[in-house]
Amino acid sequence: MIEKDLPCGGWHGILEFPLPGRQQKPRDQGLTMVIDKGLGLAQLHDLLKVAAPYIDFLKLGFGTSLFYPAELLREKIRLVRSFGIDIFPGGTFLEVACWQGKLELYLQTAKELGYTFIEVSDGTIPLSQEMRTYAIRRARELGLGVLSEVGKKDPRDSLENTVILAQIRRDLEDGAYKVIVEGRESGQGVVIFDSRGALKEEELEFLAGRIERLEDIIWEAPQKHQQQELILRFGPNVNLGNVQPQDVLALEALRVGLRGDTLRATLKSAIS
């Protein structure tokens, strides 16, 4: 039977989820991180009223949080937090701030604006290990949670798997809550995805096989078939990021086996 503290739309007692074991909030795994490229208040309110139980993090993508009227940004942050969801600005913004020697001001302003987390990344601008460690620790001191991110946005900058793995471990030691594996908004040509968005088996096996706790990783997976494959491989409680706002319920349906793609695999394994 589906958990009785779920919204359920009035369908209480109708069915069991075909793919069982989905964890409810608050939770430490099965996280869904949504990318927001500029939702207004009405759209954001709609999203939260419909889907807040299924969202753990909202990211204001790239440097977009710099373009809002100040009052509107504060209101967005307040609204998201009021639904028990963490919120953070995209990592590119921090990269530029570091590069321009404004990290401290960046962190303090993020805190003051009401953000609960920040993202520490070097997807585009190189960051020394010392600076990266400092950024993570300093954010924590200021009371901000940290999601770090590994992987380069441009294929020409791509890193060895061993380097990525070492960085994940180091970030967790330094105080990151989770480490995001870069997937971009497109899900193409980056870390575990090839240029057409297909999963690169070797990279995925390497990272997933060597990391101590799989729940320490958030996989950015914007495309449906990517979400589906990661759920089938790692179960309903895999952490997924860069989910589009309009896809949150559809992703939840994938997670519990209420959509054809994961339902079919569940049936086949039940029969065989």
Establish if 184 lies at the interface with its own copies (CB under 8 A).
yes
The Cα-based distances of 184 to 13, 58, 156, 193, 235 in angstroms read 39, 15, 15, 10, 22
Tell me the residue type at 29: Q
Establish if 209 lies at the interface with its own copies (CB under 8 A).
no
Closest CB to its own copies among 131 and 250? 250
Binding mask 224-243 for its own copies (x = CB under 8 A): x-------------------
d(CA 88, CA 37): 12
Of residues 23, 28, 68, 83, which one binds its own copies by CB under 8 A? 68
| Nearest C-alpha neighbor of 199 from the set 185, 187, 207, 184 | 187
Which secondary structure element, helix H or strand E, spans residue 129, and what is its range? helix 129-141
- Token pair of 92 as six digits: 């590119």
Closest CB to its own copies among 67 and 137? 67
CB 180, min distance to its own copies, A: 14
Sign of the torsion angle spanned by Cα atoms 153, 28, 250, 74: negative
Residue reference for tokens 């209101």: 75
d(CA 170, CA 6): 37
Establish if 259 lies at the interface with its own copies (CB under 8 A).
yes
CB 224, min distance to its own copies, A: 8
Establish if 73 lies at the interface with its own copies (CB under 8 A).
yes
- In contact, 221 and 183? CB cutoff 8 Å: yes
Closest CB to its own copies among 200 and 264? 264
Establish if 177 lies at the interface with its own copies (CB under 8 A).
no
d(CA 124, CA 185): 14
Establish if 47 lies at the interface with its own copies (CB under 8 A).
yes
Binding residues for its own copies restricted to 87-146, rule: CB under 8 A: 92-93, 95-97, 100, 102, 105-106, 109, 112-113, 123-125
Of residues 31, 33, 34, 51, which one binds its own copies by CB under 8 A? 51
Select the span of 22-30, 138-146, 195-203, 258-266 touching its own copies (CB under 8 A).
258-266
